[in-house]
Structure 1
């Protein structure tokens, strides 16, 4: 503690002696009055005096914060804090006075952190209370203080985190129950800082260092426990805490990836202690195991504080992929994990489903998302899947969500290389889906996309799938002229026309909106033209596109209304030559070209 006193007093060498400072004299009067009333058992008077003391400290901290260039107010703040420390360190002070003041003084002195340079002495004051008071009482005091922190004062949480770290080590009984109360309070305080504090806040490093100290304290308690069941629960709680911290830290990082590695390595060292492996984390098995061990069915509030544990699980593995140092700290070999995921399709699907959490996480940096894409590209497998198995259907919802997350990368990533890699991954994920489910996946993605460009891209991929299937049929000599239903899954079915209709005659009615939806319309027309030409030249009719009823429907309900719309827009723009008009014409020219080709083909078949 001498270090803290010397640090503060050294800054006051050129100022007025503390004895002559009105602020310190007034503080001494209030502290003495509080002590006397508490010793006398006058509850009403002591409450009033403590309230006055807190208000007085608030005034000093606010003055020092708002007048940072004023040396006198800053000196007052240092002297006041030193006086409080001297007072509570007095050997003659009654324990009852210490206990009573512990409920209010820690919160009051924490506000001085915003003055700058006061963290060390504030830490010392709170540490003194932790040393002198009951661990159970201080746990409640510190948790309440953390709970009351506002976004503006979130950085005031630092001394309370440090205090909790010491309190946890001092708990004598009911370790799990008391730590379980503290953990969500800590995580919620960190979350408030991460998502509300501007990038580059220097206080984040301090907060996370202290959050790490709390993890170390929980670990030390685990080691001392004799009761195996309680120890197992505390291991699980520590695991959840570490994963949530991993996610919050990864979101808050404003530094280069390399500068984050020491912290992540140290955090990863807790994973094997908690029985967590990369394989268990990336497939979700370990998450379910430790969650079920801690969170009851009726604990929705408790679940909320661990809202990013799945993100943290994926990020734990991702950091190991980024750095061998991190993987070694977690006692893992990433190459072994990649080989396992490459060779086992269901495990790979589980991993892809888990990674959707970070790919769609808006708060996560593009740097980390780039590494996530690279990792998923590394685990692309070549194992053929037996469509006759039924369990793969259960993975389709999570794969659908993962594909939607990759779509976000393709559309919005600021870097062209990342967008290109995202598209490569998108195609590989689709190819990894059993053929019997692939068309349904395409249809679901198209129906749930609000991006015309993405719809156009998906329709182009559908055309590619259809072309590949027809080439296989020709190679096998199995082309059929009839349109009877076939039992094997296929892209060459009447359902292909349903996809075209979704764009050319939207479910909500009317023709598509142009030029906004020109990308989707162009791809739909190209797909329709491809189907027409392929079926006609191959003497087949798998899709039913050559049926007279379908030709008349497409002609009257899709093509003619679209022609009316396109020609109307083009004629309106003939008199204008501004930039917008040129953009519209450039968007509609290819649409018009393919549209008239489709009309010619249909009219030829209807003759």
Structure 2
């Protein structure tokens, strides 16, 4: 005997009797065609139910209030399951009750189960397209509680399976609503909200439903829906990485389950790491509406690079994605432009404020893995760098933030190593422009000191190249673009002036001992400035004036700084 039928033999509480009375009134008015009065009656039912749920939610320790909520919810479910219920009445109730019933899911686990059943009943009895709109509207209410969202997500996964036509268009409308509410809840969880793992389990259930629909479709519709599934999975991957990292067991299971979708969606680790698969799926899904639609899927590139990082650090994840990660890393090591594309994707991890530091460390390790300590010797000076410059600059800026704000010394030092290797991967003719932009866009005096030290080191290396190659060879190069050892000329002098005489006036900024980058405090800031100036002039005018310049620069810096 079912629980609902067993309850029929118990004395009904006044609250249950009141719900039953309102439901009977709704039925009579709707069947009688009195639309105005029937709307009032349905509104009365909604208000009464919300009073019951609010009472239970406002006092979580009140057992009587929880029991009242469960009894009322069971009465609603029993009415919907009754063979005598009129379809027109159920259609009218379906417009408002899913949102109201979802609030009961926050009362207790048992109420969540019944709320699931109530929404399932509406889906079974009503038009799927109507239910899709109703459930999306209920999700848009944005109650920041996992339990409220959970039955609505499960309902959508079942609605997707019930849709008979225009599958891609229907799912495309629902996905932004789904990912938006998941993003809000995962980034701003309510105090005591312990159901986030169950919520993402239902989010994966939606992916399973989309996959099942895909298998029944062919041609361009299948291609579009598979691409949308891929973007959805990448977005969920990013959200799981942010909010579930501390629950390692649950997080690892979800990551593996999400990775299983990649082969079906024709997603490869190489395509994720270079961004080509993300761009391809985006073009298929959005067409000309990329900016508008992709604003709701703003974490897909984060999810793309995180997918590869998870595959690199967790056993079984790469296998779930059917990937050979060793081959991917070898390819990135051997191809400079593809490596730059990978850096452009990794920057999303480094700049992701809410991401756990441990994941950022794994991403730094991955960058160190695909770059070579002697990579500057292999750098192709003839590659058109201009199209990659903004992305690489953004990546260096993001790594710079890790250097400055990482909580432990090990990560800061690893990040600095990665920073230097990435700089070495940039053609010499463009490297100074990058360093200059990093310095002029930095508001941290300690970071400026670190960057100045890098400029000084670059100047020393350029001077050694100049001596080894000889002045005659340099003068014979008639290229319009500055040759490798001689492109840092007047610009270096301008940088020296910028550092010693800041545009805003006053003395040069001195390193702050409280700065998170102070692990490099051993860099003597004043000496660094002096040495840089000396190196610049020696580079251009030779060693004849070396001793004189050192004395002059020392006096100048004493005057400017003190």
Q: TM-score, normalised by structure 2?
A: 0.90
The separation in 2 between residues aligned to 1:321 and 1:50, in whole angstroms, is 55
Contact 2:156 2:206 in 1 (8 A): yes
The separation in 1 between residues aligned to 2:230 and 2:238, in whole angstroms, is 13
Task: String of CA shifts for 1:362-420, please: whole Å, max 9, x gaps.
Answer: 0111011011011111101447133133x222111111110111111111101111111
The separation in 2 between residues aligned to 1:336 and 1:49, in whole angstroms, is 66
Within the candidate set 34, 37, 43, 2:35 is matched to 43
Question: What is aligned with 2:534?
Answer: 532
Q: Does 1:208 align with 2:206?
A: no
Task: Pick closer, same or farther for the CA change 1:30–1:419 going to 2, 3 Å.
Answer: same
SS at match of 1:19: coil
The separation in 1 between residues aligned to 2:500 and 2:382, in whole angstroms, is 35
For 1:379-390, list aligned pairs within 5 A: 379-381=370-372, 382=375, 384-389=378-383
Query: Offset at 1:520?
Result: 12
Q: Does 1:56 align with 2:58?
A: no
The separation in 2 between residues aligned to 1:356 and 1:552, in whole angstroms, is 43
Question: What is aligned with 1:493?
Answer: 489
Task: Pick closer, same or farther for the CA change 1:396–1:77 going to 2, 3 Å.
Answer: same
Question: What is aligned with 2:429?
Answer: 436
Question: What is aligned with 1:541?
Answer: 541
Within the candidate set 401, 404, 412, 2:397 is matched to 404
Q: Does 1:196 align with 2:191?
A: no
Question: What is aligned with 1:308?
Answer: 299
Contact 1:535 1:541 in 2 (8 A): yes
Question: What is aligned with 2:68?
Answer: 76
The separation in 2 between residues aligned to 1:547 and 1:440, in whole angstroms, is 29
The separation in 2 between residues aligned to 1:481 and 1:346, in whole angstroms, is 28
For 1:128-139, list aligned pairs within 5 A: 128-139=121-132
The separation in 2 between residues aligned to 1:362 and 1:499, in whole angstroms, is 31
Task: String of CA shifts for 1:125-177, please: whole Å, max 9, x gaps.
Answer: 111111111111111111111111233x4541110100011110011111111
Query: Offset at 1:505?
Result: 0.4
Q: Does 1:454 align with 2:452?
A: no
The separation in 1 between residues aligned to 2:292 and 2:441, in whole angstroms, is 32
Query: Offset at 1:259?
Result: 4.2
The separation in 2 between residues aligned to 1:438 and 1:140, in whole angstroms, is 53
With 53-62 and 19-28 compared, the bigger mean Cα shift is at 19-28
The separation in 1 between residues aligned to 2:324 and 2:560, in whole angstroms, is 57
The separation in 2 between residues aligned to 1:367 and 1:281, in whole angstroms, is 21
The separation in 1 between residues aligned to 2:364 and 2:338, in whole angstroms, is 17
The separation in 2 between residues aligned to 1:261 and 1:18, in whole angstroms, is 46
For 1:264-413, list aligned pairs within 5 A: 264-298=255-289, 300-381=291-372, 382=375, 384-389=378-383, 391-413=384-406
Task: String of CA shifts for 1:24-78, please: whole Å, max 9, x gaps.
Answer: 0101000110111111111001100000000000000011112222222111111
Query: Offset at 1:510?
Result: 2.9
The separation in 2 between residues aligned to 1:208 and 1:315, in whole angstroms, is 17
Query: Offset at 1:96?
Result: 0.6
The separation in 1 between residues aligned to 2:295 and 2:533, in whole angstroms, is 50
Contact 1:456 1:524 in 2 (8 A): no
Question: What is aligned with 1:506?
Answer: 502
SS at match of 2:27: helix
Query: Offset at 1:525?
Result: 4.3
With 373-382 and 212-221 compared, the bigger mean Cα shift is at 373-382
Contact 2:302 2:349 in 1 (8 A): yes
Contact 2:235 2:297 in 1 (8 A): yes
The separation in 1 between residues aligned to 2:264 and 2:474, in whole angstroms, is 65
Task: Pick closer, same or farther for the CA change 1:514–1:394 going to 2, 3 Å.
Answer: closer
**What are the ranges of 5 or more consecutive residues in structure 2 without an aligned counterpart?**
none
The separation in 1 between residues aligned to 2:416 and 2:393, in whole angstroms, is 15
Question: What is aligned with 2:157?
Answer: 165
Larger Rg: 1
The separation in 2 between residues aligned to 1:258 and 1:374, in whole angstroms, is 22
Query: Offset at 1:493?
Result: 2.9
The separation in 1 between residues aligned to 2:292 and 2:533, in whole angstroms, is 54
Query: Offset at 1:470?
Result: 2.5
For 1:10-159, list aligned pairs within 5 A: 19-117=11-109, 118-151=111-144, 153=145, 155-159=147-151
Contact 2:260 2:320 in 1 (8 A): yes
The separation in 2 between residues aligned to 1:73 and 1:543, in whole angstroms, is 88
Question: What is aligned with 1:562?
Answer: 560
Task: String of CA shifts for 1:106-130, please: whole Å, max 9, x gaps.
Answer: 1111111221221111101111111
Contact 1:35 1:97 in 2 (8 A): yes
Question: What is aligned with 2:222?
Answer: 231
The separation in 1 between residues aligned to 2:147 and 2:80, in whole angstroms, is 24
The separation in 1 between residues aligned to 2:430 and 2:461, in whole angstroms, is 16
Query: Offset at 1:255?
Result: 2.1
The separation in 1 between residues aligned to 2:178 and 2:294, in whole angstroms, is 14
SS at match of 2:502: coil
Task: String of CA shifts for 1:237-266, please: whole Å, max 9, x gaps.
Answer: 111111111111111114254542111111
Task: Pick closer, same or farther for the CA change 1:196–1:534 going to 2, 3 Å.
Answer: closer
Question: What is aligned with 2:420?
Answer: 427
The separation in 2 between residues aligned to 1:108 and 1:356, in whole angstroms, is 42
Question: What is aligned with 1:523?
Answer: 525
**What are the ranges of 5 or more consecutive residues in structure 1 without an aligned counterpart?**
567-607
Contact 1:493 1:543 in 2 (8 A): no
The separation in 2 between residues aligned to 1:476 and 1:299, in whole angstroms, is 51
